[in-house]
Amino acid sequence: MSWEKGKHIGNLVEQSTRLIKLRFGNAFSDHGIDITPEQWIVLDCIHELESSSQKDIVEKTYKDAPTISRILAKLIQKKWLIIRPDVDDKRKSIVRLSDKGKAIYNTCNPIAITVRERLWNGLSKDEYATFIHVIDKIFQNLEKES
């Protein structure tokens, strides 16, 4: 695969993203863990937030509510999460990692770190910084609807 330089920036980023997700998924399954990249993102998010409503996860992951609802359903089905209604706001459901979920997190996190290292291999701090800046700027440029 060679890039179409100067054009098709969307495709370019899209293809790499697909590859990144694929490699995260490969790495997990190579270690015998049945978790998708998206499920990992959500699991990691819940680990960071400790205890969170679906809304919190929606905001943090930038995924939409239906997507989060369905990913959570799968994580709950796997018994990696504990869900309970919020006592103050009955619309909300609060979610946190179960012991099994924590164990999975602890197994997956080093694997994710390894993939990230591989991903950044041969790139400098400056390149990293510029990359983050550009991606962030692109995001801001597109964030508003019109």
- Contact positions toward DNA, by CB under 7 A? 14, 18-19, 21-22, 25-26, 36, 38-39, 53-55, 58, 63-74, 86, 88-93
* Two structure tokens written together for 30: 């190579």
Instruction: List the single partner that 50 binds among DNA, its own copies, none, CB under 5 to 8 Å by kind.
Output: none
Alpha-carbon distance of 31 to 42, in angstroms, equals: 19
Interface with its own copies, residue 65, by CB under 8 A: no
**Residue 33, SS3?**
coil
Interface with its own copies, residue 31, by CB under 8 A: no
CB-nearer residue toward DNA: 1 or 125:
1
Residue 49 and residue 56 in contact, taking contact as beta carbons nearer than 8 Å: yes
CB-nearer residue toward its own copies: 7 or 90:
7
Residue 48 and residue 57 in contact, taking contact as beta carbons nearer than 8 Å: no
Interface with its own copies, residue 23, by CB under 8 A: yes
CB-nearer residue toward DNA: 92 or 102:
92
b/e code 77-109 from CB counts within 10 Å (16+ = b):
ebebbeeeeeeeeeebbbbbbbeebeebbeebe
Q: Where along the sequence are the contacts to its own copies (CB under 8 A)?
A: 1, 3, 5, 8-24, 26, 37, 41, 44, 59, 61-62, 115-116, 118-123, 127-128, 130-139, 141-143, 145
